[in-house]
Amino acid sequence: MSDNENGDEMVTKPFKFVTAGMTPPELPQRPARFDARFPNQNQTKHCWQNYVDYHKCIIAKGEDFAPCRQFMLAYKSLCPSGWTNRWDDQREAGNFPVNLNQ
C-alpha cells in the first residue's frame, strides 16, 4: 500500500522551529512586566529593590555601565511614577531611607 497517489513513499522529517533568523543572544531584552497569572504577587518589594539597585549601580559604576540599564528598565516598568518621583525628591533632599553609597 502506498502513502500517496503516485505510489511514492512519504517521509516524515523533524520540525525545525524558526525564530525569524534571531538566535537567543539577539532577542531583545524586555523589562519585568506584570504577569496576570500571578495576581496575588505583591511587586512593591521588586519595584523598590530595582530602584535602589539602579541608583547604587550608577553611583558605583557610572551611568554608562550597561548592566545598570536593566535595573532601570525593571523599576520603570514596575513602579508607579508617583513613587519614583517621591524617591527622587527624597534622594535630592538627603533623606532617602537607604544609603546608596554602600
Q: pLDDT band at 53, cuts 50/70/90?
A: very high
Closest CA to 53 of 45, 7, 82, 20: 45
Q: pLDDT band at 13, cuts 50/70/90?
A: confident
Amino acid (one-letter) located at 53: D
27: its cell numbers:
532577542
Q: Which long-range contacts (CB under 8 A, 24 or more apart) does 52-56 make?
A: 52/98, 52/100, 55/91, 55/100, 56/100, 56/102
The average pLDDT across 87-96 equals 95
Q: Which CATH class is domain 44-94+98-102?
A: mainly alpha
Beta carbons of 38 and 84 less than 8 angstroms apart: no
pTM exceeds cut of 0.95: no
Q: What's the pLDDT at 68? A: 92
**DSSP 8-state code for residue 10:** P
End-to-end alpha carbon distance in the chain: 77
